[in-house]
Structure 1
Amino acid sequence: MASTLENLSALEHIKVEGVEKIYSNYQTIVSSTKSKAYDVLDHRKLEFDSDFSDFQTQIQSLIRSLESLLDSWFEQAISVVKLLDLLSQFQSVSGLELKPFYLQILQKYHRELEQIRKTYQRQREDPPLGRNLPPFLFVSAAGLWRILWCRQLFSKMEAPMLLLKPRLDFLRGPELSRLVQFYNRTAVVLMQYELLHLQHWNQAAEGAPVLLRSSLLVRLQNQDLSVNLSPGVLEVLEEARWMKKMGLEVPTSVEKMSRRESHIRALKTRLLDLLQDFHSVLDQIPQALVPLLQTFISDVNSALSPGLTTLTWSSLNAQAFVDSVQRPLLQLKQVCKSVSDILDCRIGRLLQRISSTVLLILPETNPVTPEELLSSTERELNQTAAKLSW
């Protein structure tokens, strides 16, 4: 009796809805048993046989309650993983026969595997877009999201098997054999699918480092300058990061390129900022001053020339090139500001005053002779000229 009660004490630690009432019944049995004050070894006390029979009946009723509780859980639409977790909590409860429940799980697991296989057959040509994944994965020419989709299916299939492994000897039989065979066949199909698309990705990714041989800059049809970094480079770098997260190896050439990712991104940012500054300065130059500043503009274009011809994304002196362009660009900014200030504050204002100057003042009251009109006009013009030259 003591051993039985000790083995059932594990009910206290089971955190499953419905166990509380059963544990309360268990505590009642414990209290009732402890309340017996007679010596159970005294053969003259015949009431022990009756009490022991009642004890066994109560324990059997308790076990049936646990089995009914498990039956109610198995009738619900619960995943195999959750059911296995549920049974694991009852593992230490003595007297509770769990094998029938495990056999039910094997059947349910087999159905889940069949559903996974059907999902694979139905979606393998065009897997659905997963949630919470970077957008670049879905425009990948190599279809990296296909590998992720395949891995998700395999993970869903593998999770119950990992929980079942400690119980395989306990469950050995025809049902388990059929399940393992079906599991292995499905696993092979998924691994072959992943390997196929992994090879496709490797072939596509190995071409990315070649794109770094292109010039830093390119001149567009409208003669504007643009940063000449192929989108495929950054795409492969992002994909390579995800491949490593999944524990997959990437080609050696891609691995070398990945080690330079921060350099490539920083260089791209600096070039974008440089061209934006240059275009901004050019847009601020008044059309009338373009010929005057052409020498300074040419200096910047000359400094940019290596980025159009000789320098590539693999060049070691690419950062030094950006620094070398900053100097003539800064000079162009300063000259442009000075010339614009002179044009606006001095020449522009002077022309405004000249345009508003009255050159001939006609008398409004008394008539004057031509000589007087000429004399007053000359006097007014001299005064105005003196003011404008001041």
Structure 2
Amino acid sequence: MIMRTHVILMLALFVGTLGAQAPLTALWALDETTGTTAADGSINGNHGTLVNFAGTPWAPAVFGNGLTFDGIDDYVDCMPNGGLPVYGTGTPYSVTAWVNAPPQNDKRIYSEGNSTGAFGSGPLFTLGSGTSLQSNLRVYIRNDALSQQLTAQSVSPVFDGTWHHMAWVDDGAGAGRLYVDGVLDAADFSYTPGGTYTFDRVALGAVLRATTCCLMSGMLDDVRVYPFGLTATDVALVMGNATLGTGFQVNQPGASLDVNGLSGSFASAGRITVAQGATFTLNLSTTLGGYPWELASANVPAIANGLVVGPANTVNVPLGHPSTTLANGFFSTTWGAPLSLPGFPPTGYALSASTILTAPATSLLVTLQFGMMDPTAAGGFAVSGALEIDIP
């Protein structure tokens, strides 16, 4: 990833520790027992107001209490004080929830809409029950011009009268994926975003716009929104009611790495399991074309806070491990030709590369991380997220 001599020189200047908790946009635990507020457990204060609930709508759920929706007029109106709405910025995000609800047609767990849109109009981002498959989960995304970017249903059931955990993960550029009970769903949730999305309403259990619709019948518990894409490891931790930590690098414009569309998060390295002899695609991209680059690999898992360099880069490949290799001779080879003008320093430009690799016919674990020299960065380079390839 970086020259080992660089590592030694930088240690004294830049090694540090990252925050203890990963970024969190909203957490509605729904553990209340009285009142009309669904408190947001994040620092953003995106508290919800219970609307039209009668009696005592809380009941024992997966973790503490959950909230029961009658499917007639109950919903939670969430105040978008910080980080919400989460869709439409072109950046990664995730939405998770525990759901216990019967089969139903086009009802919503979580939604983002526009207060002026009438029924059938206005932008929408919603997670809810299916239409043709009413036991399954449907993801629906529509822009201001009413162009449907995504309307896809899961293969696995979510609305079948028992508790299920759902986690929707989107890189913001159309690489969506859904986990049901911690397992990646087999449905294709890829799409092409486009246009604008003017959202100002966020709700649980319904869609809020000029008129309210799509009211869910059933229970919700522990609804969370994250401003980054969760890994499978993260999803498993959230299912267990864990607080996600930090210590791992995420992709950035200067250095991005994924394998078959999977990448790392603040809380963990990305991880993909590949069968022996199977092919997979390694994707690298950068906005720093023309500068030297490196690809580090090691036959051990990624480590948290392996080396924190500058304010935005954490090396998670254990550079001192005997199996660690640096693929390009210590930042020795430029990626493309430098773009420069007389009197100006060289500037980077966008480049990408995709390589199809074949897994060996033996068991192997390899951790990868990609880096680019970046003269404008505090540490002198940009680092991608780390990704573990497991070949059992």
TM normalised by structure 1 equals 0.19
TM normalised by structure 2 equals 0.19
Of the two, which has the highest radius of gyration?
A: 1
Structure (1/2) with the larger helix percentage = 1
